[in-house]
């Protein structure tokens, strides 16, 4: 189907999520470009929890009454915060927001920071999904990428998850690690699957600017080896009953990450915490707002006294809204929901038409009902498809 002007171009409220950023780590990994900071001494957890709730209060007028479908504690290493501190944050969210029953509440955890009984306490605090940063089961590979844990800590953490009844957990795995062979990368997937996760994130190590690895690049496997790792991992995951719903994300049916899906489908999210980004649609004003909070934990904590939580806020211009709408949906196996375009961008379909036609013309996208899905080629070359939607580069 080729849609047209019958699609609404009126902004409407998309689902709302909340992202909570906890910025400290035991040690900075050499490949990491996240807003994470080595914890020197004790984390000021009481003050930080107070800051998060004050930050949230400041954001509330923009989202009054809206149901919240998911909460994600990311970092940094959120599992450096005690279950009691996480519980205080969740209670604070519940008392200020309309958190729907059964909302997905995810905690990112580092296998090197969780004690044996911890997951039961996090579960009791309200966590119902855990994303465990395993990365690899090869101790030497973990050492080379600067992780603070070994394979035995992952095994213990997963046992603890199962004991706590937290079956809805993700294992993060990286491939293309320094010195890694294809067989070793596949072995990582097999060991992950042996732990019976509900979800596996499988992504390639990349050298990002402003990281230690970027300054002193390690020797990484070549392109064809990485492609073989990806293909063989896909075979293993498929055979184990996992579906690839996003380029790097695999899940058992029904265990797809609701929080990430909302983000990828251009939903709204409040971002609270140091450097957290947010996106909020304001239909009455006809704008989509983006903002980010004070980035450094010190500056963020100072906002408790100054009230200056925001580092930046702006209305997203029309051409960027087109790009943003397509950017992440093009990474989804079930593609782009064309009927969402108008309500989520406030723009007529004609604003996207030229780029869409170019992508179809190049054999990268095709229509399936009211969705645009990547073809086999489009799935392999997502970056090329995304580039067609860049502002000012329609074809
Ligand atoms: S544990 Fe995660 S957030 Fe912390 S430095 Fe390593 S990759 Fe970055």
Residue 98 lies in a domain: yes
Q: Which helix (H) or strand (E) holds 21?
A: strand 16-22
- Shared-domain flag, residues 103 and 207: yes
Residue 3 lies in a domain: no
- Shared-domain flag, residues 30 and 164: yes
Residue 332 lies in a domain: yes
Beta strands in 58-185 (DSSP E): 67-75, 98-109, 129-135, 169-175
We report the CATH number of the domain holding residue 196 as 3.20.20.70
Measure Cα distances from 316 to 286, 292, 305, 345 in Å.
11, 13, 29, 9
Contacting residues for 267 by C-beta, under 8 A, at least 6 apart: 14, 15, 16, 17, 344
Residue 287 has, within 13 A of its CA and on its CB side, a CA count of 10
Per the structure, the count of domains in the chain is 2
Model pLDDT, residue 394: 43
- Last residue in a domain, options 219, 247, 262: 262
Question: Strand 336-337 to strand 371-374: parallel, antiparallel, or no bridges (unpaired)?
Answer: antiparallel
Could you tell me the distance, in angstroms and rounded to a whole number, from the CA of residue 340 to the centre of ligand 1? 34
- Last residue in a domain, options 236, 262, 288: 262
- Shared-domain flag, residues 322 and 255: no
- Shared-domain flag, residues 257 and 328: no
Beta strands in 247-392 (DSSP E): 249-251, 268-273, 277-282, 287-293, 310-315, 336-337, 365-368, 371-374
Could you tell me the distance, in angstroms and rounded to a whole number, from the CA of residue 76 to the centre of ligand 1? 6
Model pLDDT, residue 392: 74
- Shared-domain flag, residues 235 and 335: no
- Shared-domain flag, residues 128 and 235: yes
- Last residue in a domain, options 229, 262, 295: 262
Residue 369 lies in a domain: yes
- Name the residue of 39, 133, 144, 276 whose CB sits within 8 Å of the most ligand 1 atoms, as the mutation to test its pocket: 133
- Shared-domain flag, residues 322 and 245: no
**Residue 162: which domain range?**
16-262
Give the rounded distance of the alpha carbon of 44 from its chain centre. 25
First to last CA, the chain: 21
Minimum CA distance residue for ligand 1 atom 3:
76
Distance CA 392, CA 215 (A): 32
Give the rounded distance of the alpha carbon of 32 from its chain centre. 15
Model pLDDT, residue 190: 98
- Shared-domain flag, residues 81 and 186: yes
Question: Strand 371-374 to strand 129-135: parallel, antiparallel, or no bridges (unpaired)?
Answer: unpaired
**Which residue's entry shows tokens 């944050």?**
89
Phi/psi of residue 72, each to 5°?
A: -130, 120
Signed CA dihedral, 253, 255, 256, 258: sign only: positive
Could you tell me the distance, in angstroms and rounded to a whole number, from the CA of residue 132 to the centre of ligand 1? 12
The mean predicted confidence, pLDDT, of the chain is 95
In this structure, the dihedral spanned by the alpha carbons of residues 89, 94, 98 and 101, taken in order and rounded to 10 degrees, is 110
Minimum CA distance residue for ligand 1 atom 5:
28
Distance CA 17, CA 69 (A): 6
Residue 72 lies in a domain: yes
Q: Which residues pair with 204 in a beta bridge?
A: 175
Could you tell me the distance, in angstroms and rounded to a whole number, from the CA of residue 144 to the centre of ligand 1? 14
DSSP state of 210: T
Residue 285 lies in a domain: no
pLDDT tens, the chain, 395 aa long: 455 556 778 999 999 999 999 999 999 999 999 999 999 889 999 999 999 999 999 999 999 999 999 999 999 999 999 999 999 999 999 999 999 999 999 999 999 987 656 899 999 999 999 999 999 999 999 999 999 999 999 999 999 999 999 999 999 999 999 999 999 999 999 999 999 999 999 999 999 999 999 999 999 999 999 999 999 999 999 999 999 999 999 999 999 999 999 999 999 999 999 999 999 999 999 999 999 999 999 999 999 999 999 999 999 999 999 999 999 999 999 999 999 999 999 999 999 999 999 999 999 999 999 999 999 999 999 999 999 999 874 44
Q: Which helix (H) or strand (E) holds 329?
A: helix 318-329
- Shared-domain flag, residues 114 and 195: yes
Model pLDDT, residue 391: 87
Residue 280 lies in a domain: no
Residue 49 lies in a domain: yes
Distance CA 214, CA 313 (A): 30
Could you tell me the distance, in angstroms and rounded to a whole number, from the CA of residue 290 to the centre of ligand 1? 25
- Shared-domain flag, residues 228 and 86: yes
We report the CATH number of the domain holding residue 363 as 1.10.10
- Shared-domain flag, residues 116 and 50: yes
- Shared-domain flag, residues 251 and 321: no
Model pLDDT, residue 395: 41
Within 10 Å of residue 284's Cβ, how many Cβ atoms? 6
Cis peptide before 76 (omega within 30 of 0): yes
Does ligand 1 have an atom closer than 6 angstroms to the CB of 28? yes
Give me the DSSP letters along 204-260: E----TTSHHHHSPPP---HHHHHHHHHHHHHHHHHTT-EEEETTEEE-TT-S-HHH
Using the atom order of ligand 1, give the atom closest to the CA of residue 146: 6
pLDDT tens by residue, 29-54: 999 999 999 998 899 999 999 999 99
């Amino acid at each position: 189907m080729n849609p047209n002007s019958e699609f609404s171009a009126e902004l409407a409220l998309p689902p709302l999520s909340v992202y909570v950023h906890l910025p400290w780590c035991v040690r900075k990994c050499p490949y990491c470009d996240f807003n994470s900071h080595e914890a020197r001494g004790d984390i000021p957890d009481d003050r930080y929890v107070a800051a998060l709730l004050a930050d949230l209060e400041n954001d509330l007028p923009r989202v009054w009454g809206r149901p919240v479908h998911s909460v994600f504690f990311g970092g940094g290493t959120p599992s450096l915060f005690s279950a009691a501190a996480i519980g205080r944050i969740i209670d604070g969210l519940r008392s200020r927001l309309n958190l729907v029953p059964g909302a997905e509440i995810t905690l990112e955890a580092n296998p090197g920071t969780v004690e044996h009984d911890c997951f039961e306490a996090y579960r009791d605090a309200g966590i119902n999904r855990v994303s465990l940063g395993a990365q690899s089961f090869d101790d030497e590979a973990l050492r080379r990428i600067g992780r603070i844990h070994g394979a035995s800590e992952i095994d213990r953490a997963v046992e603890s998850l199962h004991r706590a009844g937290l079956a809805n957990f993700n294992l993060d795995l990286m491939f293309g690690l320094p010195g890694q062979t294809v067989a070793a990368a596949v072995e990582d997937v097999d060991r992950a699957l042996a732990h019976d996760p509900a979800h596996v994130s499988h992504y390639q190590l990349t050298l990002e600017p402003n990281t230690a690895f970027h300054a002193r690049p390690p020797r990484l496997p070549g392109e064809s080896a990485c492609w073989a790792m990806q293909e063989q991992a896909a075979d293993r995951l498929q055979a184990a009953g996992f579906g690839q719903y996003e380029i790097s994300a695999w899940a058992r049916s029904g265990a797809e990450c609701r929080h990430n899906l909302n983000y990828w489908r251009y939903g709204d999210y409040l971002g609270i915490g140091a450097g957290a980004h947010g996106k909020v649609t304001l239909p009455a004003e006809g704008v989509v707002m983006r903002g980010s909070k004070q980035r450094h934990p010190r500056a963020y904590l100072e906002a408790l006294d100054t009230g200056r939580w925001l580092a930046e806020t702006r209305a997203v211009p029309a051409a960027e809204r087109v790009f943003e709408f397509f950017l992440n949906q093009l990474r989804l196996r079930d593609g782009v929901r064309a009927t969402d375009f108008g309500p989520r961008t406030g723009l007529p379909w004609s604003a996207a038409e030229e780029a869409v036609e170019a992508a179809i013309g190049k054999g990268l996208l095709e229509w399936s009902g009211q969705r645009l899905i990547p073809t086999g080629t489009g799935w392999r070359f997502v970056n090329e498809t995304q580039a067609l939607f860049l502002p000012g580069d329609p074809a």
